[in-house]
Structure 1
Amino acid sequence: MLKLPRYYSPMTQVVLVGLVCFLCPAMFNALNGMGGGGQVDRTTGNNANTALYCTFVVFGVAGGAIVNLFGVRWTIAVSGLTYALYSGSYIYLNHTGNGAFTIAAGGILGIGAGILWAAQGMIMVSYPREEEKAHYIAVFWIVFNLGGVVGGILPFAINFHSDTDSLSDGVYIAFVILECLGAALGLALAPPSKVRRDDGSSVVLVKYTNAGKEAMEIVRLFLNPKMLLLLPMCFTSNFFYSYQFGPVNASIFNIRTRGFNNIFYWGAQMVGAYVFSFLLDNAHMTRRKRGIIAFGIVAVFFNVIWGATLKLQLKYTHGPLSNGEPTDYPGGLIDFLQHGRAAGPIVLYTLYGVGDALYQNLAYWIIGSLTNDNQKLSRYAGFYKGIQSLGATVAWQLDAKNVSYLHQMIGNWVLLGLSLPPMLYIVATLKDSSNSELEETDGKDSSSNELEEIDELHDKNKLQEN
């Protein structure tokens, strides 16, 4: 008989936060994957994404502190509502043509997303045991990206017989309903203090935190040598979305095929994450060896797909043209039923999804290998998402400012190359256990450790329900 995991087990909590992300960030990803939020003119969508990632930079870095102070349930639930606001703003845009509300909603979403992803990252990489972290990351990634698949099916099905190049109100309404459900589901998460692993151990170190301490810890993130070395990795990890969703998906495919493509894009992420987890959790190899092999796979894979992208990009220069033509891609926009024209570009777009999963799963695995302290991991996850958003801010503005597609593509490839050497250095210096590094990575001295132990003894009764 199949035995279901306990409610207070780490796996149940990771699946729950995966379902929240299935219904909120994954729906946003599906909408974003249409290019310009599903609008024929990508300007408003690009500017909304710029506003989003500008605030995400700040609240991504600060998100770990906010989660540590206020807990995971309400921070995730309230953050989920910002996704619904953003999707709903496109209904207003459809009827008025005024993009100000959508851009403002993007800025508000950046606040919510920064906090939500810090909480998600902490749950995903601090709840499992060391030897299970890649498996838990993969489980989350599969549940999360299943939402992207569903989000791709919605516009594909609803717009299947549509002649317009913008999404209908019905698609946006469906996204709003799903995202509201995701926000409500955040309240079902258990406080970390109650979560227990199968061996009975707690997932949380009993510590009392306050705003002053969290502010100091945020500052110290930017003094941490390992975090600084990982800056290029963080900056690059979402940079390619702007190019893949805009200059590729929105510029050479028609509206229904964009949704069709996203079904495969997000589905490929699920497969990539699942397969990669077997390598990253392989108990027969040292952590360092696993990391180096995984790094090699990521480096080779990304260079191959960017090489193939260069070949594709040299065939066209623009999406919608001033003369009314939808693209200068040879033969016009591609429909998925045009098998001869569609097969190569769709396969390449699907491989983008595999590459995203490999890169981000490796990034989270590296971060999770630095420590087992859940409070630190919430800050590290927030740092990762904050710097990631800084890169995304730059990327979306490049497209908004009509930087040539070829230059955008080359920029992505160069940034990938710059991120690889410091990633390799961090991977090559990993230890087989993070337990001895709980304080080492932040450079704390013994006196501060003793003070924290005293705090723990006196403040157990103050432990927040977070």
Structure 2
Amino acid sequence: MADVNTDKKIPVPDFQDDSFPVYQQDTLSVGATHEVNMEEYRATVPLWKRVWQHSLTQMILLSIQAFCGPAMSDAITGLGGGGLATPKVSNISTAIRYAMIAIVCLMGGPLVNKIGVKWALVLGSLSFPIQGSAYYCNSKFGNQWYLILSGAISGVGTACWYVAEAGAIMTLAPSGARGKYLALWIVSRNLGQLVGGAINMSKNHHPGAEGGITPDTYIAFVIIECLALPFALLISPFEKVVRSDGTKIHMAEALSTKQEFKRILKTVTSSLIVLSSIWAFWSFFYSGSWSTYLGVYFSVRVRALSSLISPFFCIIGCFALGFILDMKNLSQRRRAQIGLYTVAILNVGVYIWSIIMQVKFNRHNPGKIDWSDHLYASAFLPYFFVQTTGPMSQSYMYWLLSSFATDAQENVRNGAVFRCIEAVGQAVAYGMNTQTKSSPLIGFCVTFGLLGASMLPMIMLVNTTPDRIPADVIAEAQDTARQKIEGTA
């Protein structure tokens, strides 16, 4: 084979057909190939390294971190008010945490693209145990200042992790399996909540328990949160990952810090982000109201049970959505449209139900509902279903964002801005619920209204979805150009 000058540059033409929006691309290095010669790869690379660099292995490592970090945070939130006797201080801490996440995420794209996904994940994993330890200190010693401070500290580290995670989950999967990979990620987060729920139930199952969750519960959470760090250290650089379909991740050339900030400003004003911004703000907004709902209306052991059983239907729902989004007999645009309408209809049903239930509770306060009460099923089921429709909404949106990406770094930038808007929504939701004395009805209505407001721009965005991922098309064009140069060298 003729030698290839890896420094030589080729221009990649813009996409001008009706299937793609127009992207202006930098010149690409000819030496980097998209397709991997699997026979040569198996012959020259040890088995352990092939397993480690496999896209599924990397997704599993990322999912384990999600299990240890965000899932444990969700499990604490799933206790209702963080499991504390009153939800106000927990809501203040959580509001501060998401405000910090929003601030850091806004600039997170340039940061992560500079230090790399791996080290951003490592930095974030170091912050995970802070939240659990703060809840322990509050529950054990009544220490409220540390709980509030932990919201700010953990928010910074978690933001770095979130940006890196968002870029990774949208980049690692081969084009034909993105829905299933994203379902695996969502399930891992909910399996963490399942384990957290088991811990909660083992320590808080006695009837008639009042006040908050026992302090020992938080120790178990802290131990699990500490386990994220070693798995973050095992993450492989993107450029070394080989996907299950034999392709490599398309990486653009490294940019200077100034160029990165210019790109993030361009991302913020792009039609992709503008049209999806209300959906991003809405996507996690429900968590504040539902956390308050649990804390106000359910007994301690029901709050513990909620985090145990809520993930089960979520696993089924997210994998079902994943199969829809990966259907090979439909174009990417058609799958995007079906996915949007599926998620929207399910959420509309859940919120109509929840608003009806809350209106009834405002008329006749049920007190603390236990699972032996006749109201338990009808009161708990809306929460049970929103723990499925919410994650489905997030999984769908990351799948949609990845459908527009031209390279891995753009996935990081898009994910960073989207996560920033998500965090702003969560901060507002929890801040709003710090003022909630007895009823989350306003929170439910605002969430429902945000869903309605997001639909028209989302329909406009979905109808422009390219029929193939631009990053794949660019990489194939790069391979073709490389082969031509090799043939003429």
Q: 1:434 aligned to 2:482?
A: no
Aligned twin of 2:239: 193
Deviation at 1:38, TM superposition (A): 0.7
2:195 partner letter: V
Q: After TM superposition, what 4+ stretches of structure 1 lie above 6 angstroms from structure 2?
A: 436-439
Q: 1:386 aligned to 2:392?
A: no
What is the percent sequence identity of the aligned residues? 25
Aligned twin of 1:128: 173
Aligned twin of 1:333: 368
2:297 partner letter: I
Aligned twin of 2:294: 249
1:311 partner letter: I
Task: Map Cα deviations across residues 168-192 of structure 1 (whole Å, 9 max, x no partner).
Answer: 2211111111000112221111121
Instruction: Give 3-state SS (helix, strand or coil) of 2:248's partner.
Output: coil
Q: 1:364 aligned to 2:364?
A: no
Alignment of 1:6-405 (within 5 A): 6-161=51-206, 163-246=209-292, 248-317=293-362, 329-330=365-366, 332-338=367-373, 340-402=374-436, 404-405=439-440
Aligned twin of 1:409: 444
Structure 1 stretch 360-369 or stretch 193-202: which is displaced more?
193-202
Deviation at 1:62, TM superposition (A): 2.0
2:299 partner letter: N
Distance in 2, matches of 1:418 and 1:95, equals 43
Distance in 2, matches of 1:105 and 1:127, equals 32
Distance in 1, matches of 2:306 and 2:254, equals 47
Task: Map Cα deviations across residues 28-87 of structure 1 (whole Å, 9 max, x no partner).
Answer: 000011122110111110110111011111112222222211122232122122120111
**TM-score normalized by the length of structure 1:** 0.87
Deviation at 1:206, TM superposition (A): 4.9
Deviation at 1:358, TM superposition (A): 1.9
Task: Map Cα deviations across residues 197-243 of structure 1 (whole Å, 9 max, x no partner).
Answer: 24543214152233222221221122212211111011111000011
Distance in 2, matches of 1:429 and 1:175, equals 43
Distance in 1, matches of 2:453 and 2:252, equals 39
**TM-score normalized by the length of structure 2:** 0.83
Closer, same or farther in 2 for the Cα pair 1:219/1:73, shift >3 Å? same
Closer, same or farther in 2 for the Cα pair 1:436/1:364, shift >3 Å? closer
Deviation at 1:17, TM superposition (A): 0.3
- For structure 2, which runs of at least 5 residues remain unmatched after alignment? 1-46, 475-480, 482-489
User: Given that residues 131 and 154 in structure 2 are in contact (C-alpha distance below 8 angstroms), is that contact kept between their aligned partners in structure 1?
Assistant: yes
- For structure 1, which runs of at least 5 residues remain unmatched after alignment? 319-327, 440-452, 454-466
User: Given that residues 64 and 115 in structure 1 are in contact (C-alpha distance below 8 angstroms), is that contact kept between their aligned partners in structure 2?
Assistant: no
User: Given that residues 73 and 186 in structure 1 are in contact (C-alpha distance below 8 angstroms), is that contact kept between their aligned partners in structure 2?
Assistant: yes
Distance in 2, matches of 1:107 and 1:438, equals 41
2:284 partner letter: N
Q: RMSD of the alignment, in Å?
A: 2.2
Distance in 1, matches of 2:140 and 2:163, equals 35
Give the total of aligned pairs: 427
Task: Map Cα deviations across residues 287-346 of structure 1 (whole Å, 9 max, x no partner).
Answer: 12111111111221111111111111012249xxxxxxxxx632x2122233x3212222
